[in-house]
Chains A and B, each alone.
Chain A
Amino acid sequence: MSGGTSPIFGNLDWNVTPYTDLLRDVNSSTIVGAGAASVLVLGGIATLLLFSWMRWWGPLYRNWLTSPDAKKIGIMYIALALVMLARGIIEGFVMRAHQATALGTLAQPEGGLVAPDHFAQLFSTHGTIMIFFVAMPLLIGLINFVLPQQLGARDMAFPVLNQVSLGLTAAGAGLIMISLLVGQFGTGGWTMYPPYTGKIFSPGEGVDYWLWAILISGMGSTLTGMNFAVTIFKERAPGMHFMRMPLFCWTSLCVAIMLIYAMPALTVSSAMLALDRYADFHFFTNDAGGNMMNYANIFWMFGHPEVYILILPAFGVFSEISSTFSGKRLYGYTSLVIASMSIAVISFTVWLHHFFTMGQSAGVNIAFGIATMIIGIPTGVKIYDWMATMWRGRVRITTPIVYLTGFFLLFVIGGLSGIILANPSIDYQVHNSTFLVAHFHNVIIPGVLYGMLAGIHYWFPKAFGFRLSETWGRRTAYLFVGGFVFTFMPLYVLGLMGMPRRSPTFQNPDFMPWMYIAAFGGVLMLCALASLTWTFWTSYRNRAALAVPGGDPWNGSTLEWSTPAPVPEWTFPCIPQVTARNEWGERKRAGDPWQAPAEYTDIEMPANTAHGLLIAIAAFALGFAMVWHIWWLAILSLLAIPGMVALRGMRVIEPTIIPAAEVEQADRRFRQQIASLTPVTRADEETERNRGVPDISEFAG
């Protein structure tokens, strides 16, 4: 960031990498920064080499990057999310390690592992990544993979648009990643409140990285929401009435509604901030009639529904697994549907509780405080429904159930601390303290993270044809539960002791014991991450023993379990006719669920296309160019996106046809395999005898 703006390279020069910082001044902060950049560079090089060595580029391009298949898109979303999760957890650990060493003294008021500015970047990227590039892709990926299968649909309503959404999300994630290596990230927290993030107080590229990552990926999320909503409205299998949809589909619908109506608010607030920064507008500046309170207002108009965007898919997952692993029908289906929809709508009426202390009258605060307490009611209904589902069931303590139990115990605590915060007068005491940090981690980790990991564990065999190791899965789950308790429970105490959030240093030695406990929790979280990685690796190595070609390893009751594992690209050989709520379960009850369809027809699938990939590249170039003021590239990529859309519109695009014979052959092979495999009882579910064909006489869902 020295000298003027070059017409070719914009503000880029050689002084923007963390290595130059390291050369200028060697200390623990610059070492951590350069280390992180090196991990990124070495990881990138290692991936390049691995893919070239294994000759994976062709298959990657043909089978994955250009595929409009929602199932593959879902898996790619989840892969992206897991990579970002690794970075997010490591950043969280660095922050805990920093605060455990950050006790200031009279002689040296600031201390700790990293510099204050670096610490601010850490909590900003950690929040941004965890919300937008871990939680969102995880849930969008899971919905993409599961929703069409549960609805009995072949694919999403708009497969190519789906690809574009994934591309935009990946472009945003790419911008966040490259900020490790090129330049700095913003220091305004994940909400990037102006006027601090305006041009005067935050010159440079940091806030711009956030803005463009959010604008680009937010666009992708909006389009995804539309896709989900239209899929649910228009692509259900015949007979799949709304009240027959599995609960995961209902929560997906709620998510879709919230994505459609809440993401625009984020787009508006970010675009306004961008106009302030790039074109000297005065939306949120201190002078000339700017009003930063409006930023808080618009941002949280998105922010609160976002919280429920994150949590509702997890609720859907918990509804599915509590029923499946208890061998019981889901208790209170209708009440769960009503509760989900109420949450979706009420979540639009509570946003002010994020800024109770901004200065509005008590009456306004009370109105939103009451709305906040009301939204706790449907959530409570759900918890009781799941407990009633498990009550007197034959519960198998599989990995998803461990997550569910952890969720029960911890999420309720998080929810209760939320109700405490919903009271404006109490909020005045604890706002902006680590009590709040503890609260939202307490709902997001046991809610979103456990839910999504449980979902991944549950549906993994459907995607890849083999189960994940239960032993390692459970170990991971225990580590995540323990890691959470040790990391965040101390933060409640610290908050009540008066520790402000986002504080790079503090002077009170009484904080230290709690800081050490939290740092130990951070270590456990790192172990959990390692254990999660190991779970995938060890299961991959034992994939022959863990294979479940029968496709129904858990004796499930929804349609996705009727197909082979891994599921073929056409999902269903012919679109199922739905007659009941738990269609697959009802067929099991009626005996012989695996009947071949009467006849096979040609299946039309959307043709592979590089459209999404090209748009992702252009969007990334646009974001990067805008961050660094490389105007020629920005204009070029901005024109490229509509240009590509227009060119695609000119062509007549024929779908790929999968001939009936091919479908028939694959399907008959599957039916024969089912007949040849020995059904497995519940007691043997975790053993190698589980080949994905359950003993249907045991089905009780």
Chain B
Amino acid sequence: MTKPNTGALDPQQSANSEIKSYATGFVVSLALTVGAFAALLSDLPATWKVALICVAALLQIVAHLRNFLHLSFSGRQSREDLLLVLFSVSLLAIMAGGTWYIMSDLSGRMHQASDSNAATHDVPTR
């Protein structure tokens, strides 16, 4: 399934294997989506819920990249695409992570100053 385009096989067979790849992706995505929603509606503690939702999202993204967008380390072009995606994600991690680092630090320092203003504190963060 990591290699959906096996042109050496006869067309019908390779078509079947590709359909199977899509079907697997669909089932996995569906399960992870349902899992994430179920986690939300469950009675678990909030930290657990957030962790489960995040893990499900990451797994589902991997499933999409693998089964729908056909990225893999085999095959020159799909490897190039995968490396491109990985490079982009690492730069994005720097940018988004840095934003989170800076903005949460700033917001922490602002909050300490305005802690007496309890009116705006009725909505909990996370």
Which positions in A face B, CB cutoff 8 Å? 233, 261, 265, 291, 293-294, 297-298, 301, 345, 348-349, 351-352, 358-361, 363-364
Contact = CB atoms under 8 A, between A and B. Distances in A.
A226 to B, nearest CB: 11
Contacts of B102: 297, 352, 360, 364
A261 B98 contact: no
B106 A293 contact: yes
Given A360-B106, A361-B105, A361-B109, A349 B99 contact: no
Contacts of B88: 261
A265 B109 contact: no
A233 B98 contact: no
Interface string B87-123: 0100100110011011101100110000000000000
A265 B91 CA distance: 12
A359 B91 contact: no
Contacts of A297: 99, 102-103
A297 B102 CA distance: 8
A294 B91 CA distance: 19
Interface in B18-77: none
Contacts of B99: 294, 297-298, 301
A577 to B, nearest CB: 21
B95 A293 contact: no
A295 to B, nearest CB: 11
Contacts of B95: 265, 301, 348
A15 to B, nearest CB: 42
B117 to A, nearest CB: 14
A652 to B, nearest CB: 26
A298 B91 CA distance: 14
Contacts of B91: 261, 345, 348
Nearest to A302: B95
A294 B103 CA distance: 7
Contacts of A348: 91, 94-95
Given A348-B94, A359-B109, A364 B80 contact: no
Interface residues of B, number: 14
Nearest to B92: A261
A348 to B, nearest CB: 5
Given A261-B88, A297-B99, 18 more contacts: A291-B103, A294-B103, A297-B102, A298-B99, A301-B98, A301-B99, A348-B91, A348-B95, A349-B94, A359-B106, A359-B109, A359-B110, A360-B102, A360-B105, A360-B106, A361-B105, A363-B105, A364-B101
| Central interface residue in A349, A351, A360, A363, by most chain B CB within 10 Å | A360
A291 B109 CA distance: 14
Contacts of B80: 233
Nearest to B91: A261
13 contacts: A261-B91, A265-B95, A301-B95, A301-B98, A349-B98, A358-B106, A360-B102, A360-B106, A360-B109, A361-B105, A363-B105, A364-B101, A364-B105
A233 B79 CA distance: 13
Nearest to A296: B102
Nearest to B99: A297
B121 to A, nearest CB: 14
A356 B23 CA distance: 51
A364 B105 CA distance: 8
Contacts of A351: 98
Contacts of B106: 293, 358-360
A351 B103 CA distance: 13
B52 to A, nearest CB: 29
| Central interface residue in B91, B99, B101, by most chain A CB within 10 Å | B91
A294 B104 CA distance: 11
A264 to B, nearest CB: 9
Contacts of A360: 102, 105-106, 109
Contacts of B105: 360-361, 363-364
A137 B88 CA distance: 25
A352 B98 contact: yes
A52 B36 CA distance: 68
Contacts of A301: 95, 98-99
A434 to B, nearest CB: 27
A546 to B, nearest CB: 45
Contacts of A349: 94, 98
A364 B109 CA distance: 12
A363 B102 CA distance: 10
A211 B95 CA distance: 22
A294 B99 CA distance: 8
Contacts of A364: 101-102, 105
A289 to B, nearest CB: 9
A115 B11 CA distance: 76
Nearest to A293: B106
By Cβ-Cβ distance, the 4 closest A-B pairs, closest first, are A360-B105, A261-B91, A364-B105, A348-B94
A293 B94 contact: no
A359 B112 CA distance: 13
A352 B98 CA distance: 9
Nearest to B94: A348
Contacts of A265: 95
Contacts of A358: 106
B99 to A, nearest CB: 6
Contacts of A291: 103
A233 B87 CA distance: 15
A93 B90 CA distance: 43
| Central interface residue in B80, B88, B101, B102, by most chain A CB within 10 Å | B102
A293 B105 CA distance: 12
A63 B91 CA distance: 40
A297 B103 CA distance: 8
Nearest to B120: A289
A345 B94 CA distance: 10
